[in-house]
Amino acid sequence: MKHLPLFFDLAGRRVVVVGEGAKAQGRADLARSAGAEVSRLVPAEARIEDFRGASAAFVATGDLESDAAAQRLAKQAGVPVNVADRPALCDFILPAIVDRDEVVVAISTGGTSPTLATVLRGRIEAVLPQQLGALARLAATFRSQVNALIVDPARRRAFFRRLVEGPAGRLAMQGDEAGARRAVLSDLDAARGRQVPQGVAHIVGAGPGDPDLLTLRAAQLLQEADAILHDDLVPPEVLARARRDAEFVSVGKRKGRPSWAQADIDAELVRRVAAGQTVVRLKAGDPFVFGRGGEEVDALRAAGLAYTIVPGITAALGCAASAGIPLTHRRIASAVTFVSGHSALGAKQPAWAAFAAEGHTLAIYMGASEAASVRDRLLDAGSPPSTPVAIVENGTRPDQRVSSGRLSDLARLAAPHSQGGDAGPSLIIVGDVAAYAATSATEPSQLAQVS
């Protein structure tokens, strides 16, 4: 390391700031925020006596000669000094800072690229919850009690990790201080009796496949999970965002392949949460759009177990956007319906006659292998054979494939997307908006015919 990162307690200590502009004011404000007593000096009036006994000095005059003169005075007084934008004159540097009350993150590039440090700060700002300081205060509140109760260092570390990553931590960051304290006290009671602490399940949408389309909440929970029960359709790039020591269990269901029954998934989820684990049930797309998340919530409710639901970008939204298709359009489509190409035994059948109406977009999940049936039902319901259609396979992913054409040719168009073991998940879009689809082989369709 070029610089050793250190955090100094400046409460009640004197800090000297030389300069009158915005940069000097910013450094004075920063020192005051850490509890320092700030002495502001005009460059021409600075004397060595002004620096003696100070803990640190900041110089930001904007003039090289004035900066150098103030820096020499600080050095002669034995005070470490930082000179704005002049790394060669600095004893220490000022990092980019992410401030979450008790939690502070400092980012430094050693003075080589302040812009890069600023960019990294913005990214970290977006990831760290605003209420993170409340979580630190919660841990501090119970530190002495936990240390006295749990002697074994490994068990103590596990307890604090659960406090940070488990129900208490989430309640603290949601602003529920009383609920967070109750959760910690419950875990302390369990620790006294060596009982199993309460677990929690998070039903999480992984989005359509691009890991950058994960929600911030989903990314955070993947870092907290003890176990991740994931669909077969969740790609490795998304799983790579999870905590490295988490347990990964593939519970996917794929047509024509051995797979988990839904009842077995429900039972496994309940078993793990009841055993005290933090479990992420990771589903492709959104868990409540053809994801059977509702059934898993029913099982958790029946067992009296805690759960949360984190929505994801569903396939229709992700695939349509990735293929350049607006699901609604002011001139040609004012309604959109999501429908499954497969129906559960005994479930209500879709109202195909309503789907055939003009100005209606139809997004059909898991429909590539049922393309002929979909075509026939829509034609029987009155849709014109010339209705534009598009099929998006592996939408948002690097290997995305798009085919477009007319409803009458849907079965032929779908064949390459439904055959072979390597065929990825496909979405069918039916309606005039499908003419916007951009395929890998052709430019986007001319829109004059549908506008």
> What is the side-by-side order of every strand in the sheet holding 200-205?
247-250, 227-230, 278-283, 200-205, 306-310
- The dihedral built from the CA positions of residue 259, 263, 269 and 274, taken in this order, carries a sign that is negative
The two tokens of residue 150 are 């749990």
Q: How far apart are CA 284 and CA 293, in angstroms?
A: 11
Q: What distance in Å separates the CA atoms of residue 289 and residue 365, rounded to the nearest whole number?
A: 10
- Report d(CA 409, CA 186) in Å as an integer: 61
- Sequence letter at residue 318: G
How far apart (Å, rounded) are the C-alpha atoms in residues 63 and 83?
11
| DSSP 8-class letter at 304 | T
Which residue has tokens 């849709």? 383
Enter the tokens of residue 363. 């997004």
Q: And the tokens for 433?
A: 């908006």
Name the helix (H) or strand (E) containing 319: helix 315-322
Phi, psi of 48, rounded to the nearest 5 degrees: -60, -30
Whether 240 and 211 have beta carbons less than 8 Å apart is answered as: yes
Half-sphere exposure of 345 (CA within 13 A, CB side): 0
Bridge partners (DSSP) listed for residue 339:
364
Listed residue (163, 167, 101) closest to 132, CA to CA: 101
- Annotated catalytic residue 253: yes
DSSP, res 197: P
Q: What is the 3-state secondary structure (H, E, C) of 411-422?
A: HHHHHHHHCCCC
Supply 121's token pair: 């700060």
Give the tokens for residue 220: 């955070």
Query: Active site residue: 187, 231, 266, 432, which one?
Result: 231
- Structure-token pair, residue 383: 């849709």
Q: Assess whether 231 carries a catalytic annotation.
A: yes
Q: Is 339 helix (H, G, I), strand (E, B) or coil?
A: strand
In three state form, how does the secondary structure of 218-285 look? Answer: HHHHHHHCCEEEECCCCCHHHHCCCCCCCEEEECCCCCCCCCCCHHHHHHHHHHHHHCCCEEEEEECE
The first and second tokens of residue 297, run together, are: 């919530």
What amino acid positions are annotated as catalytic residues?
231, 253
